[in-house]
Amino acid sequence: MPSEKAFVFSVLLITNTKLMNTEALKNSLRDSVVTRWAMLFTVGFVLAANYYFYDALSPLKSTLTRELGFDSTDFGLFVSVYSVPNVFLLMAVFGGVILDKLGIRRTGFMFIAFMALGALLTAYGASDMYRNEGLGYAFMSSFMPGYSPELKMMLLGRFLFGLGAETSIVVISKIIVKWFKGKELALAFGVKLGLARTGSMLALMLSPRLINSEAGWTVATWFAAFFVTTALLVFLIYMMFDLKLDKQVEKSTLESKSDPFKFSDLGKLITNRSFIFVTLLCLTFYSAVFPFFAFSADFFKNKFGLTEIQSGDIAAMMPLGTMLFTPIFGFFVDKYGKAASLMIYGSLILTIVHLTFAFTTVTPYVMMVVLGLAFSLVPAAMWPSVAKMIDEKRIGSAYGFMFSVQNLGLWAFPILAGMILDGTNPVGTESLDYTYTMIMFSGLGIVGFIFALLLKREDKVSGYGLELPSNSK
Ligand SMILES: NCCCC[C@H](N)C(=O)NCC(=O)O
């Protein structure tokens, strides 16, 4: 019968197409171990440049005071302005939404370009060229006389850098999910973070050495800015591979584009209790780490009477530790799970380290490595856990939302740390007392610990399987 034949023919056709699609999927670029790890190292370079620039001026706090007249509050303001676009303009949220809408290539390029522009402007603001009545100097001198024209130009640069930097991290997180979901996802996140921390470590070690260059201390800021500009070029290489993968996957799976973004999606995020606890842990934990890290070299210099180079080297112990530990914990999470428990241990260790810094003189070399342990446990477990709670199509918006909330802390706590320092140390004090600042960071650690406990308890109800290995979910 013709209708029967037609039915059998269509069943055969569908089965055959499905088989072909599965075959093509198997052979897509992401299935080549070498290619997907090469992609990770390519975007890891962009991340390393991002983190390098973020930390490049941290070991130069006293140089900024000497050369540009910054006090601790100015320095805190400079560190925190990075977060202003992400908190007050919700740039990381919009960046995530734009990412889910426009895709990885266009969003990535646009936001890394912002990073490069911001980095170049910051270096320009500190340069002799600008300070000798260069372009924009007169304008920056014409308002808010309480703030120097150098500080204002550098704030503008860091604002633009922050606007690009956070969204570019969201883009890179989505890239990792795209290439590694269902494979060694947590390990990939661990290596990605290890590469990012390489940037921080290099910044802490190189910047205090570059300020002694014959061409002057600003070599340190220009070097950082050119590193970021190179990252923009490196991202172009990634874009070519991303395009190729999309063509393969489109052909083979007839996969629909991601659904258009709806604001109700944000509503879904903020009513997901596990997501809320992980976001609040992200806010408190990172507020106790990054703002502390920005002041850490100056803290060691003041508390232990060290030079700029020695203090930078000690501060660099923390990212050095994380470069080793984060991939190991990532591997552990993939294989054995226990992500929620690792976040609890990480928060506890963080609190103990800060209390030790506040009240003892235990050698900072050891404590910074221990801090590196805490700073590996939580990130290695946290970021892949989000991919278990949230659908891949919404992962950009989810990471963007978390980053915006986290940036509230990265904005407020450097300013608070600077104000506490200026407030508890009379003007002209030879060595700054950091005790109260460290108590503030310890308090954040304790609150983070509570959110980590709540997250683990909630996981038993929600069933996302945070305690289970990666491929079992
Ligand atoms: N580069 C310093 C700020 C980065 C913050 C970023 N939103 C983030 O959380 N990255 C993950 C990490 O563990 O570094």
Name residue, tokens 């002209």. Answer: 428
**Atom 7 of ligand 1 has which residue's CA nearest to it?**
403
Percent of all residues in the chain with a pLDDT value above 90, rounded to a whole number: 73
| 189 φ/ψ angles, rounded to the nearest 5 degrees | -60, -40
Phi-psi category of 45—alpha, beta or left, where left has phi over 0 and alpha has psi -120 to 50?
A: alpha
Q: Report the separation in Å between the CA atom of 265 and the middle of ligand 1, taken as the mean of its atom positions.
A: 24
88 vs 392, higher pLDDT? 88
Cβ contacts of 165 within 8 Å, gap of 6 or more: 50, 53, 54, 82, 111, 115, 118
* pLDDT at 111 > cutoff 50: yes
* Positive or negative torsion for Cα 121, 126, 132, 137: positive
Q: Report the separation in Å between the CA atom of 412 and the middle of ligand 1, taken as the mean of its atom positions.
A: 15
Q: Report the separation in Å between the CA atom of 115 and the middle of ligand 1, taken as the mean of its atom positions.
A: 14
Task: Choose which residue among 169, 200, 323, 404 to substitute to test ligand 1 binding: the one with the highest number of ligand atoms within 8 A of its C-beta.
Answer: 169
pLDDT in tens, 379-412: 999 998 998 999 877 888 888 899 999 999 999 9
Q: Report the separation in Å between the CA atom of 62 and the middle of ligand 1, taken as the mean of its atom positions.
A: 25
Distance CA 5, CA 1 (A): 6
Greatest Cα pair distance, the chain, in angstroms, is: 99
| 307 φ/ψ angles, rounded to the nearest 5 degrees | -85, 175
The total of other beta-carbon atoms located within 10 Å of residue 361's CB is 9
Distance CA 420, CA 409 (A): 16
pLDDT in tens, 315-352: 999 999 999 899 899 899 989 999 999 999 999 999 99
**Atom 14 of ligand 1 has which residue's CA nearest to it?**
193
Please tell me the predicted confidence (pLDDT) of residue 152: 97
The conformation of residue 59, written as its DSSP 8-state character, comes to G
Percent of all residues in the chain with a pLDDT value above 70, rounded to a whole number: 91
From the alpha carbon of 92, which atom of ligand 1 is closest?
7
- Mean pLDDT value of segment 216-223: 96
Pocket of ligand 1 (CB under 6 A): 51, 54, 166, 169, 193, 196, 286, 290, 379, 403, 406
Please tell me the predicted confidence (pLDDT) of residue 141: 96
Distance CA 17, CA 296 (A): 59
pLDDT in tens, 402-411: 999 999 999 9
* pLDDT at 80 > cutoff 90: yes
Q: What is the pTM of this model?
A: 0.85
Distance spanning both ends of the chain, measured CA to CA: 46
Domain 32-472 matching CATH 3.40.50.150: the answer reads no
Do residues 360 and 309 touch, judged by C-beta distance below 8 A?
A: no
ipTM above 0.90 for this complex: yes
Question: DSSP states of 419-451 as a string?
Answer: HHHHHHS-TT-SS---HHHHHHHHHHHHHHHHH
